[in-house]
Amino acid sequence: MALPQELEALTQAFSGHGVDEKSLISILGKWHPEETKTFRKGTPHFFIDDERQFERWNDERVRLLKHEFMRFKNAVVLWAMHPWERDARLIKEALKKGAKRHEAYGVVVEIACTRSSEELLGARRAYHSLFDHSIEEDVASYIHGNDRKLLVALVSSYRYEGPKLKDDTAKSEAKTLAGAIKNADEKLIVEDDEVIRILSTRSKHHLKSVYKHYKEISGKHLDEDITDLRLKETVQCLCTPHTYFARVLDATLKIEVDKNTKKAPTRVIVTRADVDMKQIKEEYHKLFGASLSNKIEEVANGNYKDFLLTLIAREAN
């Protein structure tokens, strides 16, 4: 007879991010038919009583489990890729998914705004080789409406990365952004050419100065005053990237989120492990009062969990 702790362990093995392969092998591998039947009877969210008197898998649960079994493989494959190819493929997937899930376009913003100029140029080169189009061309083709102008400008950017900036210019541009936000009822801020120019061409060092001056002018942070989602993500990725990534991880490292949302921890951890994961972990602890490692332990399973924990333990920076 199946033991209660085995039933609980097996249910846990099928829940969260990834699957606990060791538990599946150690428990399912030794069970006899009656014990397996007890599991089927005791997990109605996994199995359905068929009218012909047998328990069958819930089809939707099977579809979800296919993604969970693939999660570890996908993370390993993504990690082994050249960073240029990785970003190119992430952008392509986001553009294709964005037609149905508009929030997927946030991945394009993330990559365009958190990579260095050379890294973004590399991604554009890889995109040419992989898909016989330019990123700019596909962004303009896939994205319609208010976001198009902003995203084309962001992926086309090649920002200055030196330390020099003109503080008076930064202060003036903070005032420009404040004016655009104030007049957002008359003209959408995402369609304001000056706003797009500032956010898509200025160096990140300069934009952090703009961010500081905006707070002095308005009393609030720039991203707090912006309601347009794409612009908010743009400002966060450019000016406070570690906070942005920490918040993405917290929002997506949950047991009950959809299969597409569950992709975010893989993307963030794989792409930032050798860049700024130390700072992201520190920001995560500061914001949420818990360690990122403990959060992953709580919601992830099996080889996928072990791989994520290995990546965030790297001390590249």
For residue 253, what pLDDT is reported?
Answer: 97
Model pTM score: 0.94
Pair 169, 253 in one domain: no
Pair 267, 227 in one domain: no
Residue 55: inside a domain, yes or no?
A: no
For residue 314, what pLDDT is reported?
Answer: 85
Q: Which residues contact 46 (CB under 8 A, 6 or more apart)?
A: 11, 14, 40, 57, 58, 61
For residues 156 and 264, what is the distance between their CA atoms, to the nearest angstrom? 24
**pLDDT (average), residues 233-254:** 98
Pair 306, 207 in one domain: no
For residues 257 and 172, what is the distance between their CA atoms, to the nearest angstrom? 42
pLDDT above 60 for 317: no
Mean pLDDT of the chain: 94
Pair 231, 264 in one domain: no
**pLDDT (average), residues 150-169:** 97
Q: How far is CA 25 from the centre of its chain?
A: 31
Which of 104-108, 109-113, 255-259, 305-309 has the least mean pLDDT? 255-259
CATH code, domain carrying 93? 1.10.220.10
Pair 153, 266 in one domain: no
User: How many domains are there within the chain?
Assistant: 2
Pair 102, 190 in one domain: yes
Pair 192, 280 in one domain: no
Residue 152: inside a domain, yes or no?
A: yes
How sure is the predictor about 1, in pLDDT bands with cuts at 50, 70 and 90? Answer: low
Pair 89, 195 in one domain: yes
Angle at which helices 147-155 and 193-201 pack, to 10 degrees?
A: 20
**pLDDT (average), residues 21-31:** 92
Domain membership of residue 166 as a residue range? 83-237
- Cβ proximity of 280 and 110 under 8 Å: no
Residue 5: inside a domain, yes or no?
A: no
Pair 232, 105 in one domain: yes
For residues 207 and 188, what is the distance between their CA atoms, to the nearest angstrom? 21
Residue 278: inside a domain, yes or no?
A: yes
**pLDDT (average), residues 181-207:** 96
Pair 161, 263 in one domain: no
Burial of residue 260 (CB within 10 Å: 0-12, 13-18, 19+) is middle
**pLDDT (average), residues 261-285:** 97
For residue 236, what pLDDT is reported?
Answer: 98
Pair 196, 300 in one domain: no
Q: Residue 145's closest CA among 194, 176, 99?
A: 99
